[in-house]
Amino acid sequence: MFGYIQVNCKTLSEEEKQRFRACYCGLCHALHDRFGNAGRLTLSNDMTFLALLLSSLYEPDETCYDEKCVLHPIKKHHAVISSATEYAADMNIILAYFKCLDDVQDEGRLRGRAGESILRQAYQKVQSRYPGRCAAVQYCLEKIAALEKENSQDIDALANLSGQMLSETFAWKDDVFNRHLRGVGMALGRFIYLMDAYEDYEEDMKHGRYNPLKTLHEQPDYEACMQDILTMQMGKCVKELDYLPLEKDAQLLRNILYSGVWGKYALIQRKRKETN
């Protein structure tokens, strides 16, 4: 799930770069404050994006400060924390915990077992705050696991479940913005699932593992088809974002969706050209 949300630094102003970094550091501090060092290990750009989005939409009061930390022991760094950051930290724990469980089921990876053990207490705290969200995420992942076990090639069904899972974490409040926040999460979740399958395809085939793109890969226009599918999902994501009345950090958020998320795709393309 994690790893596909990035910023395109080449098109950001210095102020925007610092803003993203401050929100990233703020999320790190929120994870540490709420869950200890175990929480900090789950830090991701994905939930930094969520914190930025919710902060831009709801404009909660922010606490800004400069301090050193374990990761930056010499030079002080700027950090920003708000109620949106704290919510994103909780959602980060849910997704990270279930990612560890997924790794356990995927050939019983040691890293997954260790991660699940480390994050179990943190997850239980979040579960007590958001039992409905935890149950929804668990349901989606169990359905995905069942389809994958059946060697399903129903890409839409699998991607929709991934989208549904992420949309649950994006819906912070039950209000007028809920629908479009869910829409952003839905499209982004679909995009991430498909990107993950696209990136892992060659390794999955090499090791005899499941991949939902196996049937599609047999088509002669596979690469063009995948680009069209991914572009369509990101187009839906941007469309939902545009329904929201965003001002602060709007350009930064659009940078991520317009070009940042394509960074990994470009890297995959480059590596495959070098290999071939």
In the predicted model, is pLDDT for residue 276 greater than 80? Answer: no
In the predicted model, is pLDDT for residue 178 greater than 90? Answer: yes
In the predicted model, is pLDDT for residue 68 greater than 80? Answer: no
Cβ count near 189 (within 10 Å): 26
Residues 6+ apart with CB under 8 A from 267: none
pLDDT in tens, 100-147: 887 666 655 555 556 677 888 999 999 999 999 999 999 999 999 999
| For range 62-81, the mean pLDDT | 80
In the predicted model, is pLDDT for residue 48 greater than 90? Answer: yes
Residues 6+ apart with CB under 8 A from 17: 7, 9
Task: Please answer whether residues 226 and 213 qualify as being in contact, where contact means their C-beta atoms are separated by less than 8 angstroms.
Answer: yes
- Give the CB-side neighbour count of residue 218, counting CA atoms within 13 A: 5
pLDDT in tens, 8-29: 888 899 999 999 999 999 999 9
In the prediction, which pLDDT does 34 show?
A: 95
In the prediction, which pLDDT does 126 show?
A: 96
In the predicted model, is pLDDT for residue 148 greater than 70? Answer: yes
pLDDT band at 72 (very low <50, low <70, confident <90, very high): low
In the prediction, which pLDDT does 175 show?
A: 95
Residue 51 to residue 214: CA distance in whole angstroms:
35
In the prediction, which pLDDT does 70 show?
A: 67
pLDDT band at 2 (very low <50, low <70, confident <90, very high): low
